[in-house]
Amino acid sequence: AQSVTQLDSHVSVSEGTPVLLRCNYSSSYSPSLFWYVQHPNKGLQLLLKYTSAATLVKGINGFEAEFKKSETSFHLTKPSAHMSDAAEYFCVVSDRGGGFKTIFGAGTRLFVKA
């Protein structure tokens, strides 16, 4: 069975500094991995996805993530944080076990200080 662990429930950075949101996964198959963002009172939006192509995935708003099979990680990064990046971020895993069940991580709340 697959699982996903977001290692930090809260991350606080200053505007203009790098962002790192950590995600580890477990999967018995070749997984698909996603990062979604949820702004307050807004719907969930896809940031980026990995589906067995390039291991470095670029997404919207300057975010990227690297799939590392040996470390079973899929960390989300951004070189320079903006105030508008403050939101909840979810790491998601999906694999063909159990009919492509989708598992969300518990989420990481990103705070951006001026």
**Residues that bind other proteins in the complex, under the rule CB under 8 A:** 31-32, 34, 36, 42-46, 49, 51-52, 90, 94-96, 98-107
112's tokens: 């951006």
Q: Shortest distance, CB of residue 71 to other proteins, whole angstroms? A: 21
Tell me the closest approach of the beta carbon of residue 74 to other proteins, in angstroms: 14
Cβ neighbors of 108 (< 8 A, separation 6 or more) are: 6, 8, 9, 10, 11, 21, 22, 88, 89, 90
Nearer CB in complex with other proteins: 32/77: 32
Residue 40 beta carbon to other proteins: minimum distance, rounded to whole angstroms: 12
By C-beta, is 2 or 73 nearer to other proteins? 2
Q: Confirm if 50 and 64 have CB atoms less than 8 A apart.
A: no
Is the distance from CB of 109 to CB of 19 less than 8 angstroms?
no
- Residue 77 to residues 29, 81, 96, 99: CA-CA distances in angstroms? 25, 10, 27, 30
User: Taking the complex as a whole, how short is the minimal distance between the CB of residue 1 and other proteins, in angstroms?
Assistant: 11
Q: CB nearer to other proteins: give 18 or 98.
A: 98
